[in-house]
Amino acid sequence: MNLRAHVHPMFASLSISDEIADHLNPKEKDYLPIVAYNNSKLCSVLGAFELHRRFADRGLKIFVVHPGNAVYSNLCRNWWVYKVLYAIVRPFTKSLQQAAACSVYCAISPDVINCSGLYINNCVPCLPSPEALSPVLANKLWVFSLDLIEQRLGKKAFFCD
């Protein structure tokens, strides 16, 4: 199960024609935190769907789960902007227990027991962004990731093709 924020469609800058390394490790002058964050979420969704494409026939169940927007947690508790923002929107946020419901749904619900490769938002299968559904982009990211692992650990690190 892959727990992801639903920001992957916004401000992500990966495309089939671009060099993935340039987007995931931009030059300092080109770095924007929101783009980096959203690219990381898009990569996570792409990776999950590529796992599904490669291993679903072996019984592996893959779900990309969005727990909901504005989940109240202590993640940014030391940032004053977060404190001000959540003082205003707290009545409209989800609790951690409510956010966890989507993951529990994927783990035990009979609705999805025979499913894999789904993007689940608030316990409902949904379509992710078009970029997240690109098998070409997912494969490109897969190959890039394997190359990084091989550079660091060598070929002996691989247990899959």
**How confident is the chain (161 residues) per 10-residue block, as mean pLDDT?**
57 63 79 82 92 93 84 67 78 82 93 93 90 92 90 74 55
| Catalytic one of 31, 37, 72, 82 | 37
pTM, rounded to two decimals: 0.78
Range of the domain at 86: 2-157
Candidates 105, 120, 110, 98; CA nearest to 49 is 120
Rounded to whole angstroms, the Cα distance separating 94 from 1 reads 20
**Structural domain tally of the chain?**
1
* pLDDT value of residue 159: 62
- How far is the CA of 3 from the CAs of 6, 7, 67, 156, 157, in angstroms? 10, 12, 7, 29, 25
SS (H, E, C) 106-159: HHHCHHHCCCCCEEEECCEEECCCCHHHCHHHHHHHHHHHHHHHHHHHCHHHCC
* pLDDT value of residue 12: 62
CATH number of the domain at 23, please.
Answer: 3.40.50.720
Does residue 82 have an active-site annotation?
A: no
Chain centroid to CA 97: 20
